[in-house]
Structures are given as structure tokens and as C-alpha cells.
A and B are shown apart, each in its own frame.
Chain A
Amino acid sequence: MKKNDLDFSIPKRQSQAAIYLIIYNRFRNVISRFWPFLLIALFTGDLSFKNPDGFTMFIFGLTLLTGVFGIIAYFRYYFWIEGNQLMIKKGVLNHALTQIPFDRIQTIDFEQNLIHQFFNVVGLKIETAGSTQSEIKMQALQKEEAEALRDFILSQKVTAAPTEEEAIELKNQDTQLIYKIDFPILLKIGLTENHIRSGFVILFAIFWFVDNIQEAGYDFSEVGDEYYNRILGSIFLIGGLTILFILISMMISVGRIFLRYFDLRLLRSYNGFKVINGLFNRKEVAALDTKIQILSWKQNMIQRWLGFHDLQLKQASSAQLSTKKSIVVPGVNTTDIEKVKELLFPERDEDSVEYYGVSSHFLWRPILIMSIIIIPLIVFMIIQQAYPTLAFLVIFYIGFIIQRKKKFKKTYFGLNDQGLFVRGGVFGHSRWMTMHYKIQSTEIKQTPFQYRKDLADFIVHTASGSRGIPYIKLSEAEYLQDYLTYKIEISQKEWM
């Protein structure tokens, strides 16, 4: 290999093997999208090259076009290194110049499929902490070249992000047990899975069924006792089935919970958390403190009665981490949560947090919109005398109003000079917290209605998901944006 090949300061193209890979990929793409049609065409003998029909022509045209585009794209794709950055210039119709500072590069992965191997090249995947959309892919580079590029970038990185090795190291450290699931809690978790929803669906099915019987001519007021009893019987049958169904679904979830969460332990090492769980299949998820962006916990109505929560430690979700995901700890009580909070965000100072509610329009606006939709429907059902459906609609409408009311009463956001705290929930509770320095960016959004009323939604983006605070005063949202942006900018701490 010429020395010149390893000089990355001049713009260069990928290996020419990339052309074959591009053609192969495009071809595979088209085939995978249209294979059912192709199969049909093949079997019916429609796929004739002498007399192609419109569709065949279309597919072949498309393949050809994308192939040509791919090849042009290859010739227009250049990469080079300028200072401490990787530069990429590309695009056929849409030209783009991308600049990636080495410091922000998280991982550089090689991939090698059969075609890669044949040409002795590798595909390159360069990930920053951003979304999958923002990762850089190169089709094919000479293996030596790719290794040189990777080594160069990694050697030039000033700050090293926590690496896989550190996470592995975490696994072998001395740990301290924070929480261990016990049998009664396991049982409670299994029993309190959300069965209400399935019950509701079945309830709707009953109303629908009765309604259809009426339409089919069985009017309850006119049919004789015998028919009446028979229908009543079938209602009882359905009711019984509902209960049976809920029972079965409970048993299934108890079993599933046992398999999944058996002997769950939350462990603490000096710079991270680790959770181990599972009966046959022991699963272990580790997270360094620096990677955890959000702490949240919630309980539904029944969990509230029984006094336990589901706790979640959300990790930065770059593509590299997506398989490991967040740490989920079910069945914890408030003392456990306090312990985790103290370890993860010792600076949070929750006593100084001031909480603010949201505008009452958050309650009335959805109710108004729902009313506009549902009241005409209710009137229509009254005229049609479809009482079971009517009953369902009314129950649904009242339920909706109660739900909105509960939700409005429980939605709060709180702020102090360390973190942002959001409370929510409908029949239960949910809590969400992050520290200012973990926030990536903030956004103020306004619908036309909110604009008229000087209201806004405020959205906080972190590396492990976004959280909105709905219907607050525009001035509050602007203050939050100013303040949080300022706090991010002065913070000395890295978010990861």
C-alpha cells in the first residue's frame, strides 16, 4: 500500500469495492420491497422480458435509477481530516458537508459481510452520542486504511468518553446491595399489572354485542320472556367470560413477572448501578452514573394502595447503548427511591424545590374538544334509541372528564438551582427528575390556541428522552428556557 493512501488530510473516496456494495445493496433493497410481486409475476409467467408490462418496467426502471444514483453518490463522497475533525462531503442532488469533532466520536465499528471479505474491505460505522439518524456510515474502505483512520481518530481524542471497558470493569467491582425483590412483592407486581384496560375492552365488546342484537331485531321491550332470558343469559355468559379472561391474564402476568424479575437485585458500585434479574435467564444491566440522564418512578392506583413503585434509571440512548437500555426496578418503596436519589443526584436539594401547576386550560381544552366530538354522537344515539352504545358513550365521556381532572390536578413542575422535577399521573403518581447539566436542549411550543392565551408547552430534551411540561404561561416557559440554558452553559460537569 502506498504511503499516500494513509494520508487523510486530502479528500479521498472510499475503496472502489464500495460500488459493488452499493449496487448489491440497492438491488437487495428493491427485491426485498417488491419480492411478493416478483414471485407472483414469476409464477404466473407474467415476467416476460420480451413483452414487459408496466409494473415490471417500473421495477426495473427503479432498480436502474437507484443503482445509477448510488454510483454517482459514490463518486461524490469524499472524506478527509482537517485539524481535529473528520469531514465528509457527499450528495448527488442534495450536497452536504458534515463536520465531526473527534472529541464527540463515541465508537468506530467495522463490519464485514461476505462481499466485504471478498474485496478485503470493511464497512465503517462512526457513532456520535446523537440519534441513529446522525451516525456516519461508509460502505467500504481498505482494511489497512480503516484501521489507520480509527487509530488516528482515537489517538487524537482529547477527552475519552466512558468506554465499554469501564462498563465491564463496573461489573467486577465491589458492590453493595441496595434493593432485593422479595416474594410478596413479586406476587403483588404480577397481580397489579394493568388488567383494567383489558376489562374495559371486553366491556365495550358487550355493549357492542347487545347493540347488534337489537339491530338484528331482538328488541328487549318486545321479545317474550323466553328470548329475554336467553339474551340475559348470554350477557351473564359474557360477563363470566370477562372475569375468567381477567383471571387468566392475571395468572399469565404473575408467571411472566416471576420469570422476569425473580431474585432481582439492585447493586451499587462506586460509580454506577447494576441490576440482575431473571429465573432461568439471568439478565444483568449496568449503568455508569454519568450515563444515567433521568431518574423516574411511578405507581398506578393499585400500586399506590399497596405502597410500591416502578423505578427507572434511564441511560443515554445512543445506538451503541440501545441493547442495554435502562435499568428498571419494580416494587421499590419510598425509602429505596430515596437511597437511589441520594447516590445518583446527591446535589438535588429537593427541599428547596418550588412546584408550579399548569394552566386550567390544560383541563378544559381537551374536554371542550372531546365534547364537540362526543355530544353530537350522544344526541345521535338518543335519536337512534341505541341505548347500550349511548350508555357506553356516556360512561366514556364521564371517564374522560374525570381522567383529565385527575391529570390536571397532578401535573406540576418544580425547579431549583440544581434540577428540574416533573410530577404527573392520573389515578396514580409519576415523578421525573433530571439535573440541569444533563439537559441537551430546550424547546417552547405553542398551538394557535396557546398563542392566543399566552400559554406554551415547554419541552426538555435529554440524551435519554424528552419530557414536556404542558400549558404553562409563556413567560414561565421563557424563563425556564433562559434559566436552563444558562445553567447548562455555566455547568462544569459533563452530561456524560
Chain B
Amino acid sequence: MNPFNNPQIFSADLNSVSDLEFEPLENSYRSVLYIGNTIFFAITGTVALSIYFSVKDELPYFIQVAAAVLFFTLLIFSFLSIHFGFKNKAFAVRQQDIFFQTGWLWKSKTVIPFKRIQHSEVSQGPIDRMFNLGKLRVFTAGGSGSDLTIPGLSFIKANQLKDFIISEITTGKVSYEEE
């Protein structure tokens, strides 16, 4: 390969992220999130209540109210963000890279070229297992901030994606010129 091969590229020719058609996560993942969130708040709620009953005589009234308001605000906000944020969770795979976008109010969109992936992993939590879902993680050398986690894929698809990525990074040192 000629290392000095460096043809000019016009910006209009670049495949644009904004034109990318993102694929949604499995619908059942919404249920996973709801169930997970319910369990989380059930546990924290129980702990909070048991603490509350043991110290309520010593707490001023407004702190009790504030704590309750805080708890329910967090609870409502977390459910809302699952509800409205779900449709923003989506991924896209191109020939040479993988995208994931997420977030309801605070949004983010990350892209990792296959070339930069160090290794990858498919994992499945207990609730995922009930719905036959999996979670794909890819690791880069850029530290945890640049790692990508795509949850809510069907378990089969997660594994297919992982196999595809791994085959790309081990065999393919494909460049645009070769296509």
C-alpha cells in the first residue's frame, strides 16, 4: 500500500452522521428499564422508610417533607426519562464504525471506528434474560469515557454484532481505497 496515497476529500462526500438512519433498541428493553427502576426504588424506598421511622421524632418537619419531595421527584424523573428517553436510545453500524446515541434531556452521540476497538463483550443481566436481551460493550484505549455500551439488543443480535466487529478488527484492515 502506498503510504503517500492521500487523495483530497471534499466535505460534501463524507457520509454524514446526521443522515444516518439509527436503529432503535428492542421494545422489550423498555420493560427491562421499568422493572430495574422499580426494583431500585423499592429497595431504596424500603431503606429510606426504615431510616425514617427510626429517626422521625428527631427530624424537623420541613426536612421530612423535603426528603419526601426529593425522593418522589427522583422517582418520577427516572420514570419519565425512561419513558421519553427510550426513543432516543439508538445505534447504527456502518462498514467501519459503530454509533450509539442516548439521553432524554442530556443527549450524547458517540462513534467508535472498528479500528480503535480493543475488545468487546456481550453481557446479560437477570432481567435481560427474562426478555432474551443482551448488552454489547466495546472497549477502546481511550479510557472508560470512550467505551461504548449498547443495551437492549436481542441476545442473538448482540452476539452477531460482536462477531462482526471482532472479525472486522482482526481480519479487516480495510481502507476506503481498497473498495
Contacts and interface: CB of A to CB of B under 8 A. Distances in A.
A295 B139 CA distance: 24
Given A85-B166, A95-B124, A131 B147 contact: yes
Interface string A299-337: 000000000000000001110000000000000000000
Nearest to A133: B144
A490 B166 CA distance: 19
B108 A130 contact: no
A459 B97 CA distance: 17
Interface size for chain B: under 10, 10 to 19, 20 to 34, or 35 or more residues? 35 or more
B108 A441 contact: no
A83 B107 CA distance: 39
Given A318-B141, A492-B1, A486 B9 contact: yes
Contact of A93 (B125, B169, B177): B125
B141 A129 contact: yes
Given A445-B107, A451-B107, A463 B123 contact: no
Interface in A446-491: 446-448, 451, 459, 461-463, 465-466, 478-479, 481-483, 485-486, 488-490
Contact of B106 (A93, A447, A489): A447
A414 interface: no
A199 to B, nearest CB: 35
B5 to A, nearest CB: 8
Contact of A482 (B17, B121, B142, B162): B17
B119 A100 contact: yes
B145 interface: yes
B102 to A, nearest CB: 10
Contacts of A486: 9, 14-15
Main secondary structure of the interface of A (DSSP, over half): mixed
A133 B121 CA distance: 13
B120 A463 contact: no
Interface residues of A, number: 54
Given A482-B16, A483-B11, A485-B97, A440 B141 contact: yes
A154 interface: no
A128 interface: yes
Nearest to A96: B123
Interface stretch (B25-33, B65-73, B109-117): B109-117
Contacts of B159: 97
Contact of B175 (A104, A448, A489): A489
B3 interface: yes
Contacts of A479: 11
Contacts of A96: 121-124
A95 B142 contact: no
Nearest to B97: A485
A444 B113 contact: no
Nearest to B107: A446
B16 A490 contact: no
Interface in A199-248: none
Contact of A444 (B108, B119, B143, B145): B108
Contacts of B123: 91, 94-97
B82 interface: no
Contacts of A444: 17, 108-110
Nearest to A83: B170
B116 A134 contact: no
Contacts of B120: 98-99
B170 A84 contact: yes
Interface of A: 83-85, 91, 93-101, 103-104, 128-131, 133-134, 316-318, 439-448, 451, 459, 461-463, 465-466, 478-479, 481-483, 485-486, 488-490, 492, 495-496
27 contacts: A83-B170, A85-B170, A94-B126, A100-B119, A101-B169, A128-B119, A129-B141, A130-B140, A131-B144, A440-B116, A440-B142, A441-B111, A441-B146, A443-B146, A446-B103, A447-B105, A461-B146, A463-B142, A463-B143, A478-B18, A481-B17, A482-B16, A486-B14, A489-B176, A490-B175, A492-B3, A495-B141
